[in-house]
């Protein structure tokens, strides 16, 4: 009897594993479209969906099951669109006959918990950030950090790095950035939605990392920009590729999106961390939407395209309100041309 009781959670877990891949079959008309994927984009996507439902009468159903799930569901054709924080390569897209474009921009911001530190006072370079997360820089008064912060008093306390315990696009973009700026990081942990961390603590979700940083003295973590604003966290500045320390803000994220070389990225396969612009925020990320190139249901595909056209052109106020950053107009134009050419 005891054994059976103990097994119930396991059985339930298995059942839930199974169902997360079966997905919902969408409704039968173009009045309802279904998507699945990235949790990062979920708040703004559901705000857009609500606006679009009142204006166009089309219901958009979005399940934020994670980028990996979104990719596998759109490949299997169980949803009308997928959303992922990590772009697929043109090769992968061609294999599954998918089109891909970015819809929104966000920033990933290092946050710290150091006594008497004010937001934006601590300055970090990319290599320092990589060294902290690799356990090479162990204390806040390490010479490397002191050199970047003349006149700032730094405690002789041990740094506790906080990372995401779940696989996430945030981690992908953060580690992608660290791989760009630190050869040791690139050959060590590397980049991915979850990597082999050296020491530190893992929090589940942005809120998990934010809470760990708030609870653990002398810790550092990385979270989406919205969490920094909403939780009034102490953020650190990161040096960008042009050598400037730029505050995380809608302007600096836009600058990064504008300076990224979208025109030459086939299928928008571009991660814009370490963007070259002088005012570009260095750890800027975007979420990508995946659409089938030859949809089974033309009406639904058209409805999905119309929805994203609406979101890209008229969704800016909602995005700004939720602390996301809309794509620059030039990129929106490129996306619309791309959709016209690629989705039949």
Partner 1 sequence: MTAYAPIERTTSRGATADRIFNVVTVGAAWLVLIVLLGAAASMAWGGRLAFQTFGLKFITSSDWDAVGGQFGALVPIYGTLVTSAIALIIAVPVSIGIALFLTEIAPRWTRGPIGIAIELLAAIPSIIYGMWGLFVFAPVMASDVEPWVNDHLGQWPIVGPLFSGPPIGIGMLTAGIVLGIMIIPFIAAVARDVFNQVPPPLKESAIALGSTRWEVLNRVSLPYARSAIIGAIFLGLGRALGETMAVTFVLGNAHDLSVSLLMPSNSIAAAIANEFTEADTDLYRSSLIALAFLLFIVTVIVLSFAKLLLMRINRTHGRTH
User: Which positions touch partner 1 (CB under 8 A)?
Assistant: 1-7, 9-11, 13-14, 17, 20, 65-69, 71, 158, 160, 165-168, 189-197, 199-204, 208, 211-212, 215-217, 219
Q: What are phi and psi of 115, to 5 degrees?
A: -55, 135
Nearer to partner 1, 90 or 167 (CB): 167
Cα(282)–Cα(291) distance, rounded to whole angstroms?
Answer: 29
Shortest Å, Cβ 115 to partner 1: 13
Cβ(85)–Cβ(103) under 8 Å? no
Cα(10)–Cα(16) distance, rounded to whole angstroms?
Answer: 10
Nearer to partner 1, 168 or 182 (CB): 168
Nearer to partner 1, 204 or 266 (CB): 204
Nearer to partner 1, 219 or 286 (CB): 219
Nearer to partner 1, 70 or 326 (CB): 70
Nearer to partner 1, 190 or 276 (CB): 190
Shortest Å, Cβ 288 to partner 1: 15
Identify which of 181, 197, 171, 207 has the alpha carbon closest to the alpha carbon of residue 85. 171
The tokens for 323 are 């602390």
Residue 250 CB neighbours (<10 A): 17
Nearer to partner 1, 212 or 281 (CB): 212
Cβ(12)–Cβ(40) under 8 Å? no
Shortest Å, Cβ 339 to partner 1: 25
Nearer to partner 1, 64 or 279 (CB): 64
Identify which of 127, 114, 102 has the alpha carbon closest to the alpha carbon of residue 182. 127
Kindly give the pairing relationship between strand 219-224 and strand 160-164.
parallel
Identify which of 14, 23, 28 has the alpha carbon closest to the alpha carbon of residue 72. 23
Shortest Å, Cβ 13 to partner 1: 7
Residue 113 CB neighbours (<10 A): 19
Q: In this structure, what DSSP letter does residue 218 have?
A: T
How far, in Å, are 26, 212, 279, 291 from residue 182 at the CA level?
A: 45, 26, 21, 34
Shortest Å, Cβ 78 to partner 1: 16
Shortest Å, Cβ 313 to partner 1: 31
Shortest Å, Cβ 262 to partner 1: 25
The tokens for 307 are 């929805």
How far, in Å, are 173, 213, 223, 336 from residue 229 at the CA level?
A: 19, 15, 10, 31
Cα(85)–Cα(287) distance, rounded to whole angstroms?
Answer: 4
Shortest Å, Cβ 249 to partner 1: 28
């Amino acid at each position: 009897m005891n054994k059976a009781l103990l097994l119930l959670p396991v059985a339930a877990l298995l059942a839930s594993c199974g169902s997360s891949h079966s997905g919902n079959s969408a409704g039968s008309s173009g009045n309802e479209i279904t998507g699945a994927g990235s949790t990062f984009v979920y708040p703004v996507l559901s705000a857009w969906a609500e606006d679009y439902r009142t204006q166009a009468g089309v219901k958009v159903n979005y399940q934020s099951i994670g980028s990996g799930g979104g990719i596998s569901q759109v490949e299997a054709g169980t949803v009308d669109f997928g959303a992922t924080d990590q772009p697929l390569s043109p090769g992968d897209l061609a294999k599954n006959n998918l089109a891909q474009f970015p819809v929104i921009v966000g920033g990933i911001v290092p946050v710290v918990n150091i006594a008497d530190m004010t937001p934006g006072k601590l300055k970090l370079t990319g290599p320092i950030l990589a060294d902290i997360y690799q356990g090479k820089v162990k204390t806040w008064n390490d010479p490397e950090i002191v050199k970047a912060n003349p006149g700032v008093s730094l405690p002789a306390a041990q740094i506790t790095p906080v990372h995401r315990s779940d696989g996430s696009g945030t981690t992908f973009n953060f580690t992608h950035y660290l791989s760009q700026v630190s050869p040791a990081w690139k050959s060590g942990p590397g980049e991915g939605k979850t990597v082999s961390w050296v020491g530190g603590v893992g929090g589940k979700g942005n809120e998990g990392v934010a809470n760990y940083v708030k609870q653990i003295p002398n810790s550092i973590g990385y979270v989406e920009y919205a969490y920094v604003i909403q939780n009034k966290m102490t953020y650190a500045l990161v040096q960008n590729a042009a050598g400037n320390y730029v505050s995380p803000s809608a302007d600096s994220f836009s600058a990064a999106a504008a300076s990224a070389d979208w025109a030459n990225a086939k299928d928008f396969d571009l991660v814009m961390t370490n963007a070259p612009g002088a005012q570009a925020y260095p750890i800027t990320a975007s979420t990508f939407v995946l659409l089938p190139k030859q949809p089974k249901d033309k009406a639904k595909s058209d409805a999905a395209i119309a929805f994203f056209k609406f979101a890209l052109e008229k969704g800016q106020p909602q995005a700004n309100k939720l602390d996301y950053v809309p794509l620059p107009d030039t990129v929106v134009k490129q996306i619309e041309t791309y959709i016209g050419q690629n989705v039949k």
